[in-house]
Chains A and B, each alone.
Chain A
Amino acid sequence: MAATTSMVTSLTFTIPSLGLRLPTRSYPCLKPQRRFVRKAASNVITATYELKAPPYPLNALEPHMSRETLEYHWGKHHRTYVENLNKQVVGTDLEGLSLEDIIIVTYNKGDILPAFNNAAQAWNHDFFWESMKPGGGGKPSGDLLDLIERDFGSFERFIEEFKAAAATQFGSGWAWLAYKANRLDVENAVNPWPSEKDKELVIVKSPNAVNPLVWDYFPLLTIDVWEHAYYLDFQNRRPDYISVFMEKLVSWETVNTRLEKAKARAAEREMEEERRRKEEEEGKPTNEEEDDDLEMYVDNDNDDSEAE
């Protein structure tokens, strides 16, 4: 029988150095990278996701997005998501995980677990503030523009489609521009667009807190279409808000940087998968396989059979 492998996944754990057994809730299998944040001289581990400030003062987006909106949207809504996330995560298996990891795990293929809403909303809002800048809008250039024109026909068509997605996300949610690298087997979610088209820009909309990380896309741009995002400035006029966002607020530099990162990571993944596929083909044992297999190999080659 196979001995236990080196990859042990445990769903509960003790922290021997503190002599504490913390109450834990079981969550689906987690990837091995974990960061623990411990407060010095304290017997309590506290989760510490922080509320990051937008990369501009709260009045910097006026007159397109008022200071009052930023004060509430960032200062109350976003802050509350972060605070509630910290309270929810402390003492559970999720503690110490990166925000992205919590999102993927608690999305749970759509059967969402309690911490998902706060984690995803915390991430979404960070991403949203960074998607905007004072004096934003205009047009992208370079690779990003080329890709937009390739995948949507023209920049104008892209704008139309993005605005339509944002306007037709019924109820609360988000509209996204994302980079989709062809990856159908997604560990913890169901890819809604399984297609042969390889590596392209897509526009998607999502309800409530859902974001494209759960479909293993690379988000590039987002607009928040929860009513709290625009009600003080535009009341019911969501289409006006969307137009102003596109024309005056989008930070195409940020979108571009995100695209470059996404392309790089997609290329890395491809290389990694290529390597793994080659290894499987050549029948080379990977690090996780048993020593028994190696011995079988050796027997065959050396003719040192004991059975004779």
Chain B
Amino acid sequence: MALRSSVTRRTLTLGLNSTRLLPLSRSLQTFSLPDLPYDYGALEPAISGEIMQLHHQKHHHTYITNYNKALEQLHEAIQKGDSSTVVKLQSAIKFNGGGHVNHSIFWKNLAPIREGGGEPPKASLGWAIDTHFGSLESLIQKMNTEGAALQGSGWVWLGVNKELKKLVIETTPNQDPLVTKGPHLVPLLGIDVWEHAYYLQYKNVRPDYLKNIWKVINWKYASEVYEKECA
């Protein structure tokens, strides 16, 4: 990305982490949209390319934009010692920051079938699932039941309690990250059950989306996280 010397320098914002220097302060890190490790259409027919593109380029991107905005306002408020604004911004940070955190995990939770999507977990995670839930099918059924029953918008998670080394299934509302359900919870897999995640393809039939998404779930990633926490 060379800049021609005759052109005035402009801040690069697309695809790069940019830092902005504010007077008399540390620079504020802003966040940018992570690339997907696969094409938009690569998860078909489980999840349509149209959904993947909108989900990534519009929804996730908007969370990031608004998260950056809120962080900048937070930065200013902290500098000024404006506590009411600091507190007021918390919900915007939770919504948008949570949206960024959750979706960043979500893209890694998915993989095209030819790259291992849908392949059942083995090794320690596979064993832990069988021990705790009886079988993979039983885990899937439980998660799907929780996901289908969630009112409104939210996520259903397979997580691990890193203190107790135990697997858990949890749901969170809106964009609340899993950690809001317990400080020791680490997400292994999250399934987005906001309507934007499935509506264009599955309409109101969320259970069908939940049934099909397992065909493209990336258990390799979940295993890696599990092993790191429970080694």
Chain A residues within CB distance 8 Å of chain B: 72, 76-77, 80, 117, 170-173, 207-209, 226-228, 231-232, 235-236
Task: Mark the stretch among B39-47, B134-142, B198-206 that contacts chain A.
Answer: B198-206
Interface assignment of B65: CB less than 8 Å from any CB of chain A = no
Given contacts A76-B204, A231-B199, A236-B196, contact A170 B151 (CB under 8 A): no
Q: Within the complex, what minimum Cβ distance (angstroms) separates A115 from chain B?
A: 12
Cβ of B151 and Cβ of A76 under 8 Å apart?
A: no
Q: Which residues of B contact A172 (CB under 8 A)?
A: 152-153, 195
Interface assignment of B32: CB less than 8 Å from any CB of chain A = no
Task: Mark the stretch among B10-18, B23-31, B54-62, B100-108 that contacts chain A.
Answer: B54-62
- Please measure, in the bound complex, the distance between the C-alpha atom of A76 and the C-alpha atom of B203, giving whole angstroms: 9
Q: For residue A72, which residue of chain B has the nearest CB?
A: B203
Cβ of A72 and Cβ of B204 under 8 Å apart?
A: yes
- Please measure, in the bound complex, the distance between the C-alpha atom of A178 and the C-alpha atom of B203, giving whole angstroms: 31
Can you list 7 A-B contacts with CB-CB less than 8 angstroms, sorted by A residue number?
A: A76-B203, A170-B91, A170-B174, A170-B175, A226-B195, A231-B199, A236-B196
- Please measure, in the bound complex, the distance between the C-alpha atom of A207 and the C-alpha atom of B153, giving whole angstroms: 10
- Count of chain B residues with Cβ under 8 Å from any Cβ of A? 20
Cβ of A209 and Cβ of B151 under 8 Å apart?
A: yes
Given contacts A227-B196, A228-B195, contact A236 B152 (CB under 8 A): no
Interface assignment of B95: CB less than 8 Å from any CB of chain A = yes
Q: Which residues of B contact A173 (CB under 8 A)?
A: 152
Cβ of B199 and Cβ of A228 under 8 Å apart?
A: yes
Q: Which residues of A contact B153 (CB under 8 A)?
A: 171-172, 227
Given contacts A226-B152, A231-B196, contact A236 B59 (CB under 8 A): yes
Partner of B152, one of A72, A76, A171: A171
Cβ of A232 and Cβ of B151 under 8 Å apart?
A: no
- Please measure, in the bound complex, the distance between the C-alpha atom of A172 and the C-alpha atom of B152, giving whole angstroms: 5
- Please measure, in the bound complex, the distance between the C-alpha atom of A231 and the C-alpha atom of B95, giving whole angstroms: 20
Q: Which residues of A contact B204 (CB under 8 A)?
A: 72, 76-77, 80, 228
- Please measure, in the bound complex, the distance between the C-alpha atom of A231 and the C-alpha atom of B62, giving whole angstroms: 16
Q: Which residues of A contact B95 (CB under 8 A)?
A: 170
B118-164 interface (Cβ within 8 A of A)? 151-154
Interface assignment of B173: CB less than 8 Å from any CB of chain A = yes
Q: Which residues of A contact B174 (CB under 8 A)?
A: 170-171
Cβ of A232 and Cβ of B152 under 8 Å apart?
A: no
Q: Which residues of B contact A236 (CB under 8 A)?
A: 54, 58-59, 62, 196
Q: Which residues of B contact A226 (CB under 8 A)?
A: 152, 195
Interface assignment of B221: CB less than 8 Å from any CB of chain A = no
Q: For residue B99, which residue of chain A has the nearest CB?
A: A170
Interface assignment of B214: CB less than 8 Å from any CB of chain A = no
Q: Which residues of A contact B151 (CB under 8 A)?
A: 117, 208-209
Q: Within the complex, what minimum Cβ distance (angstroms) separates B203 from chain A?
A: 5
